[in-house]
Amino acid sequence: MCAPNLFHFTVCLSQTKSSMAFQSLDTIIDFLEPVNTFLLSDDEGYHDSQLGKHIAVYETHFPDIAEADLVLVGAAESRGGGVFTKDISGPDAIRKQFYSLFQWHANLKLADVGNVKEGASLQDSYAALKAVVSELLQQGKRVVILGGSHDLATAQYEVYADLQKVVDTVCIDAKIDLHLDSTLPGDVFLMKMLTSEPNFIKHYCHIGFQSYLVHPQMLETIDKLGFDCFRVGKVKEAIEEMEPVIRNVDFFSFDISAIAHAFAPANYATPNGFNGEEACTLMQYAGMATNLKSMGIYGYVPEQDTEALTAKQISHMLWYLMDGIYKGKQEAALEDKDLFREFHLAFADFETVFIQSRKTGRWWMQLPENKYIACSYKDYLLAANNEIPERWIRAVERS
């Protein structure tokens, strides 16, 4: 029993909260299968400089995730994408590569809660993933889903809908999954996300679509809804322009079909797309987004991989996600005026303010209602030349 003084009362309260959190997480264990790290490491284990040595993993006991900055969850369900297979090793194939990488971010804590069990039906799998992600988010954790077909993003979104939390959403995909003539959930899941009532998507942004894979009317529909789409060629011309797009995201999904086949052989949708470094850069931007709480990497089918190259690519993307989280922690709060450079400009009869972080060099611009939104140095240069940045126009239209 604790002694009646302030120090011990604080310790006891902390222990009680930790115990309550663990009991709450204990309810999701039935949905999860543990990870076999000996199998992943070929019975060799991991040395002190490898990530596998520093991840709290669900093996025989559920790990303590209280201090975790990032929690991994495997979800191999692929029936919604038309892939009917008994091979559910995809998340473990990614883990095998990721755990072997070197640890460069000692101050970041990682946890891995294992794999979501495949349900008897697709809806059962959705429900199980939703339950796991929901509990982790309510514990204040940032979650990465190692999928599985992209329709699993439906379960990822429904977590926010149940919490009635309005979210900014970014999807990176070669296609825009609004194919109403398809019976596959993986081809139509965006329709449910974008049009369900009540709807909790404040803004949707699609990055990396390939024009020949997208019906022109889809782009018209998304534009009418006030959402944004960026063609893969446009992104590759100036990928740094995507950092402001991703900066305030809450919900993020990345389909590996957006990565060129040469860099991700398990992508069988198209030979074109982002190269490996560009995919890592986009993931780094996601890590820097301080509002981001759940992200999914979807579309990995291990049977289609060659020499585990796609698994290696995804593992590198996870490493850069960590790097982004580390960089994001260095950013100053917008309220700390002394940590920003301020530039007052007038363009096209509007007066506004641009600010630049002294810590990271990132930019924000002020809207007419005095709210600041993420922008780039290019936006500042346009305004300085008396041109209205398109990002500013789109933001004003939405507001």
Q: What is the rounded average pLDDT of the residues 243-259? A: 97
Six token digits for residue 190 = 């965006």
Whether residue 180 is predicted with pLDDT greater than 80 in this model: the reply is: no
Mean pLDDT of the chain: 90
Q: What is the rounded average pLDDT of the residues 60-66? A: 93
Q: Are residues 358 and 224 in the same domain?
A: no
pLDDT of residue 24: 60
pLDDT of residue 86: 66
Strand partners, 205: 170, 228
How many domains does the chain fold into?
Answer: 2
Q: Are residues 234 and 350 in the same domain?
A: no
Query: Taking phi first (over 0 means left), then psi (-120 to 50 degrees means alpha), and beta for anything else, what does residue 347 get?
Result: beta
Whether residue 4 is predicted with pLDDT greater than 50 in this model: the reply is: no
Residue type, 120: A
Domain C-terminal end among 328, 346, 370? 328
Contact between 93 and 311 under an 8 Å Cβ cutoff? The reply is yes
Q: How far apart are CA 154 and CA 125, in angstroms?
A: 11
Q: Are residues 71 and 206 in the same domain?
A: yes
Domain that holds residue 375: 337-398
Q: How far apart are CA 360 and CA 43, in angstroms?
A: 42
Which residues are CB-contacts of 214 (< 8 A; sequence separation ≥ 6)? 175, 176
pLDDT of residue 72: 98
Closest alpha carbon to 228 in 180, 168, 158, 156: 168
pLDDT single digits (tens) 120-173: 999 999 999 999 999 999 999 999 999 899 999 999 999 999 999 999 999 999
pLDDT single digits (tens) 42-62: 999 999 999 999 999 999 999
Residue 395: how many other CB atoms lie within 10 Å: 18
200 part of a folded domain: yes
Residue 41: how many other CB atoms lie within 10 Å: 17
Q: Are residues 47 and 140 in the same domain?
A: yes
Q: Are residues 341 and 302 in the same domain?
A: no
Q: Are residues 169 and 72 in the same domain?
A: yes
pLDDT single digits (tens) 327-363: 999 999 999 999 999 999 988 778 899 999 999 999 9
pLDDT single digits (tens) 262-314: 999 999 889 999 999 999 999 999 999 999 999 999 999 999 999 999 999 99
Helices (DSSP H) in the chain: which residue ranges?
A: 6-25, 37-40, 90-99, 122-138, 153-163, 185-195, 216-224, 232-237, 242-247, 276-288, 309-328, 377-384, 390-398
Contact between 198 and 224 under an 8 Å Cβ cutoff? The reply is no
pLDDT of residue 26: 73
